[in-house]
Homo-oligomer: A and B are copies of this chain.
Amino acid sequence: MLADPTRRRILDLLAERGPLNVTGLSAEFPNLVPSGISKHLMGLRSAGLVQASRDGRQQIYSLEAAAMNAALAPWLRKYDRFWHHALEQVRHLAEDEAEEGRTTGTACTLARGGSDQPTQQ
| Residue positions of A touching B, CB distance < 8 A | 2-4, 12, 15-16, 63, 65-66, 68-70, 72-73, 76-83, 85-87, 89-91, 93-95, 106-112, 117, 119-121
Interface pair A81/B120, CB less than 8 Å apart: no
Interface pair B111/A69, CB less than 8 Å apart: no
Interface pair A69/B83, CB less than 8 Å apart: yes
Interface pair A120/B76, CB less than 8 Å apart: no
Interface pair A91/B120, CB less than 8 Å apart: no
**Known A2-B3, A65-B85; further 5 A-B contacts with Cβ < 8 A:** A66-B121, A73-B83, A76-B87, A87-B110, A94-B112
Tell me the minimal C-beta distance from A5 to chain B in angstroms: 9
Interface pair A93/B79, CB less than 8 Å apart: no
Tell me the minimal C-beta distance from A29 to chain B in angstroms: 18
Question: In the assembled complex, which residues on chain B have CB atoms less than 8 Å from the CB atom of A90?
Answer: 73, 76-77, 80, 110
* Among B4, B15, B72, B112, contact of A86 (Cβ-Cβ < 8 Å): B72
